[in-house]
Structure 1
Amino acid sequence: MRPFWLDQALQKDAGSAPPLEGETTADICIVGGGFTGLWTAIHLKRAQPHLAIVLVEADICGAGASGRNGGCVLSWSTKFFTLQRLFGEEEAIRLVKASEDAIAAIDTFCREQHIDAEFRRDGTLYTATSRAQVGSADAVIAALQARGICSFDHLTAAEVVSRAGSSKHLAGVYSPNAATVQPALLVRGLRRIALEMGVRLYENTPMRRLVQSSPPTVETSRGVVRAGKVVVAINAWMARQFPEFERTIAIVSSDMVITEPRPDLLAAIGLTNGVSVLDSRTFVHYYRTTCDGRIMLGKGGNTFSFGGRILPVFDAPSPYLSMLTDRLRQFFPSFAGVPIAASWNGPSDRSVTGIPFFGRLNGHPDIVYGLGYSGSGVGQSYLGGQILASLALDRDDAWTRSPLAKGPLGYFPPEPVRYIGSIVVRDAIRRKERAEDLGRKPWFFDAMLSKLADAAGKSDKM
């Protein structure tokens, strides 16, 4: 069973490419047919149209995180303090600006290439849903304002309720520099454009081994690609393929539900555009509407995998259906009788800092990689494609010089410490935020454990 977005997209575009049979050659071989791999292919073709590019995908394009995420296209503005701490003032400012420019660039690309991905550039709301969350935006807003890069405005309580469509929100800030998109329609649109640009695509072609020779070789189930350069863009699947990445990411689920269409109810509560709404929890609730009048609500940080494994549950309906449904109906009481059309979840590649990282595999000059989007890859993968294209072309530019392109930015503890610690901290966060929802003071140890998540970069709350 395909996740809701992908199933919907395949009803419009069910095209498939054949698997690779036998040997072939290419200037560049890209492994992974999601946002990162496809944006990389497109950036490469735009830079050098003559390049012979082969892209191999284990399933079909969009079958991974790119076809099943929440479709919130966000910038790095809320990550400013983390960016500043990791990379310094100048690079942090550059990355915030670049991430906002990427949202506009995706919008323009969709319009120019006639990709009907339901891209709605209606901004984002970061809100407080408990008294403890109120004011969590103030420090980063002040920092962004001081540097002249702030796109956020504080709203009155009434404005927040009006824009968010729910009285559960007590305070909030709004930025116009964000969007929502039907992610599977976008990835399938990128697939079409890549094919039109001359990229040779092989689907249902899992990489079995990457021979780190010179030049490198990608071995698949029934074929071989000999390429001058290899780009590995498989994100959450990276730890399974390459043990050296096992401690650089944690595989965490993001779980979603979506209602049947009720545009009349959306109109009644004033939630008629494509704004995304995120609360200020460590593992946020996020929601947005769709063009046909549905509400989708999701929450991250539920299922943690051991040792970087991709669990079977990630390809099944969400085991948190009841919890998510209850939360959706708390936000929107008028939707209490509206059926849930589908639930799903998927693996998110959470880095230690919450920031993706890129580099050359084991220092190999002809093999580059990128991963660690931490649940925010819809917009950031456009930048990831730029970084990987620059690395593959051996350019000397702002992307190849960026600390983002120098490899992992930190490591998780080894197993089983990482897994046990993740569950202990997750449960502490849940208890802390449940107490705050009820207006109670959290238990001291729950508050202390929750701070560990923030210190490790598991969230940049606004």
Structure 2
Amino acid sequence: MIGDAAPRVFWTDRPGAPGPWEPLRGHTTADLLIVGGGLTGLWAAVLAKQENPACDVVLVEQRSIAYGASGRNGGFISDSLTHGLAHGAWLWPGEIETLLALGRANLAAIAAFVAEHGIDADLRLVGKTTVAVAPYQVEELRQAEKLHRAHGEDAVFLDRDEMCADVDSPTYLGGLRLRGTGGLVDPAALTWGLARVAERLGVRIHEGTEVTGLARAWAGVEVRTRSRGVVNAGQVLLATNAFPPALRRLRAFVLPVWDYVLVTEPLSPAQWESIGWRERQGLTDAGNRFHYYRPTADGRILWGGYDAVYNFGGGGSEQREATHRRLARHFFETFPQLHGVRFTHRWGGMIDSTSRFTPFFGTAMGGRVAYALGYTGLGVGASRFGALVGLDLLARRPTERTRLGMVRRHPVPFPPEPLRWPVVELTRQALARADENEGRRGPWLRLLDRFGVGFDS
């Protein structure tokens, strides 16, 4: 089923990438050094230059712009900063209205920026639909509709017939249609567009530049790279996602989880007609182990998720045959009318999960270094918010963002190896059992819930 699929990322498997930019070699200085050439790093670079055009900003990327999660995710963009409304209301009930307002303003600012700079990123704020594929999930979605409506969101519960009239699958038992809370985007095109804007604003970009160490210097931070470069920076922002951060102590808070994706060939008009999907919104399952899927601009279906793999020590592979085959089987179970459709691309990548499923922030080295990490799969939109928080922290300015509990407090750290892998594996198995047991969470998951920790894809 996946034999024809190229082991490449669909979003970046095309011409049009900006650069390339040379590795950093020799010695240089900067007012602000940004480590990481994904969405968080690029938003920080652009926002810093827009705030102060005289600020000398250098951005270094270990591989190439959009190489990591920013260029290989599913292309969903959300206004949520908290891994969904229900999760945010559970963790920070007293701040949820502020978090919602900040998230909505953040998404609106992204849309305005894309329009202003003419970035062709296929940004479509069409919302999304969560589908029930097990009987217990139907009632969960009914309750979710009430929660979203109570917070002023356009939420509509769909029964089985209404759901299948929208998108036709024999696996659907109901759905929750959300409009106005996000949508879809070409993530690589967005990242590339940000890089072009950053360069026009005067940001100095260096690819192939891995940071190997940070040290205090008399006027800031001395940063050394594997490419034999040295930067003396007044301030540093770490935006490395799931890749090991230059500050070792942060690694306890980031769990690199591997997620996998397939993309089909373009569907024919008749094939699209057979499944409906006229609003072309993104869809996700309602279970703990869920699929996410969406149409692309050229008429394909991107299909990913379900397996969230943590390997001992955090390493992994961009190709995982067993998972890709499982995804293909699930695809045709969901859409049997598409039997015979070929997959053209398959890949995997890391998600930077935290124990509370939301990003965390902070400073080090006397406030000269800031970090924004741990988006747990919802970073396409939240990355801009994370960049703003990082810049606020470096400027030591109290803002509505920096007063949030999510910003002021860290999540519970993960245990080190060799304990980390069995704990994560135990949790994954418990989540699978919950899916098979009508959503009922066993003793281990209830214990994690009590302390606000767990595991999610």
Give me the TM-score of the superposition, normalised by structure 2: 0.90
Is the CA contact (8 Å cut-off) linking 2:83 and 2:378 kept in structure 1?
no
- Structure 1 counterpart of 2:273, from 243, 257, 267: 267
2:328 aligned with 1:322: no
- The residue identity in structure 1 corresponding to 2:309 is T
Is the CA contact (8 Å cut-off) linking 1:282 and 1:458 kept in structure 2?
no
Counterpart position of 1:283 = 289
CA distance in 1, matches of 2:306, 2:252: 20
- The residue identity in structure 2 corresponding to 1:285 is H
Counterpart position of 2:380 = 378
- Structure 1 counterpart of 2:426, from 419, 424, 427: 424
2:58 aligned with 1:47: no
Is the CA contact (8 Å cut-off) linking 1:212 and 1:364 kept in structure 2?
no
- Structure 2 counterpart of 1:303, from 298, 309, 329: 309
* TM superposition shift of 1:457: 4.6
Counterpart position of 1:346 = 349
- The residue identity in structure 2 corresponding to 1:410 is V
Q: Deviations over 1:415-451 (max 9, x none)?
A: 3332112212213433443x45xxxx68x8x844455
- The residue identity in structure 2 corresponding to 1:108 is A
Is the CA contact (8 Å cut-off) linking 1:116 and 1:185 kept in structure 2?
yes
Counterpart position of 1:102 = 106
Counterpart position of 2:340 = 337
CA distance in 2, matches of 1:318, 1:34: 27
Counterpart position of 1:393 = 395
CA distance in 2, matches of 1:316, 1:460: 21
* TM superposition shift of 1:454: 5.4
Equivalent positions of 1:45-124 (< 5 A) are 45-76=49-80, 79-89=84-94, 91-124=95-128
Counterpart position of 2:255 = 250
Q: Deviations over 1:264-311 (max 9, x none)?
A: 21233212444111111113211101111111111154320334x333
CA distance in 1, matches of 2:306, 2:253: 19
Counterpart position of 1:149 = 152
Q: Deviations over 1:138-186 (max 9, x none)?
A: 444434433x433322223222223334232211211112111121111
Is the CA contact (8 Å cut-off) linking 2:445 and 2:454 kept in structure 1?
no
CA 1:87–1:71 in 2, change beyond 3 Å: closer, same or farther? same
CA distance in 2, matches of 1:407, 1:454: 18
Q: Deviations over 1:17-66 (max 9, x none)?
A: 11111111111000000010001111111211221100000011100111
| SS of the residue 1:198 aligns to | coil
- The residue identity in structure 2 corresponding to 1:175 is L
- The residue identity in structure 2 corresponding to 1:242 is L
CA distance in 1, matches of 2:417, 2:134: 35
Is the CA contact (8 Å cut-off) linking 1:32 and 1:55 kept in structure 2?
yes
Is the CA contact (8 Å cut-off) linking 2:83 and 2:357 kept in structure 1?
no
CA distance in 1, matches of 2:112, 2:79: 16
Unaligned residue ranges in structure 2 (runs of 5+): 1-5
CA 1:337–1:128 in 2, change beyond 3 Å: closer, same or farther? same
CA distance in 2, matches of 1:21, 1:306: 34
CA distance in 1, matches of 2:455, 2:209: 35
2:235 aligned with 1:229: yes
CA 1:290–1:102 in 2, change beyond 3 Å: closer, same or farther? same
CA distance in 2, matches of 1:367, 1:48: 19
Equivalent positions of 1:140-179 (< 5 A) are 140-146=144-150, 148-176=151-179, 177-179=181-183
Unaligned residue ranges in structure 1 (runs of 5+): none
Which deviates more from structure 2 when the two are superposed, residues 348-357 or residues 411-420?
411-420
Is the CA contact (8 Å cut-off) linking 2:217 and 2:232 kept in structure 1?
no
Q: Deviations over 1:112-132 (max 9, x none)?
A: 111111112111011211102
CA 1:452–1:206 in 2, change beyond 3 Å: closer, same or farther? same
Q: Considering only aligned residues, what root-mean-square deviation do their CA atoms show, in Å?
A: 2.5
CA distance in 2, matches of 1:142, 1:449: 29
* TM superposition shift of 1:229: 0.7
| SS of the residue 1:302 aligns to | coil
Counterpart position of 1:409 = 411
Is the CA contact (8 Å cut-off) linking 1:358 and 1:370 kept in structure 2?
yes
CA 1:414–1:324 in 2, change beyond 3 Å: closer, same or farther? same
Is the CA contact (8 Å cut-off) linking 1:125 and 1:174 kept in structure 2?
yes
Counterpart position of 2:30 = 26
CA distance in 2, matches of 1:218, 1:2: 35
Counterpart position of 2:200 = 196
Q: Which portions of structure 1, spanning 4 or more consecutive aligned residues, are displaced by more than 6 angstroms?
A: none
For these two proteins, the number of residue pairs brought into alignment is 446
Identity of aligned residues (%): 31
2:370 aligned with 1:368: yes
Is the CA contact (8 Å cut-off) linking 1:34 and 1:187 kept in structure 2?
yes
CA distance in 1, matches of 2:306, 2:107: 22
Give me the TM-score of the superposition, normalised by structure 1: 0.89
Higher helix proportion: 1
Which deviates more from structure 2 when the two are superposed, residues 155-164 or residues 43-52?
155-164
CA distance in 2, matches of 1:2, 1:14: 22
- The residue identity in structure 1 corresponding to 2:274 is A
CA distance in 2, matches of 1:184, 1:272: 25
CA distance in 1, matches of 2:263, 2:191: 20
Counterpart position of 2:3 = none
| SS of the residue 1:244 aligns to | helix
CA distance in 2, matches of 1:201, 1:68: 21
Q: Deviations over 1:180-205 (max 9, x none)?
A: 11211111111111111111101111
